[in-house]
Amino acid sequence: MPVYDPQHDTPALQARLARREGLVIACYCAAWCDTCRQYRPDFDGLAQKWPQHAFVWVDIEECPELLDDEDVENFPTILVQSQEGNLFFGTMLPYIGHLEKLVASLQDAAEVIEGGPGQLGTLLPAAAQ
């Protein structure tokens, strides 16, 4: 599965999120960030490993509305959502193994947390206008 970029793939991402399958795993980044550029190939690889989940790469300067009212202070900042709500939102060390372990632990059952952006599927239409 590809990693969706809401700046360029909005219709495809909207269609994928409308299917309401799997988790949504978003990485909030910035084009100028060297750490983000180095992290991206591994994030893409994880998307290939788990095609049942929707992986989204969000440039916070190009699509700030996808952060809702949240701020990003460090990169990478990761959001993991299920259909029920947010399961994780926070900064992570830029080692893909950490994200891989997190997603593996959240695939079966996880409690919804307070905080973090709203459901990307509801924020995205506003971003596309």
pLDDT digits over 40-53, tens only? 999 999 999 999 99
Task: Flag whether pLDDT at 66 surpasses 80.
Answer: yes
What pairs with residue 59 in β-bridges?
29
Sign of the Cα pseudo-torsion (6, 41, 19, 12, in order)? positive
Q: Which residue has the higher pLDDT, 18 or 108?
A: 18
67's tokens: 């952060």
- Which domains can be identified in the chain, with CATH numbers? 3-128 (3.40.30.10)
Instruction: Tell me how far apart the alpha carbons of residues 79 and 125 are, in angstroms, rounded to a whole number.
Output: 18
Peptide bond into 76 cis (omega under 30): yes
7 pLDDT more than 50: yes
pLDDT higher than 60, residue 126: no
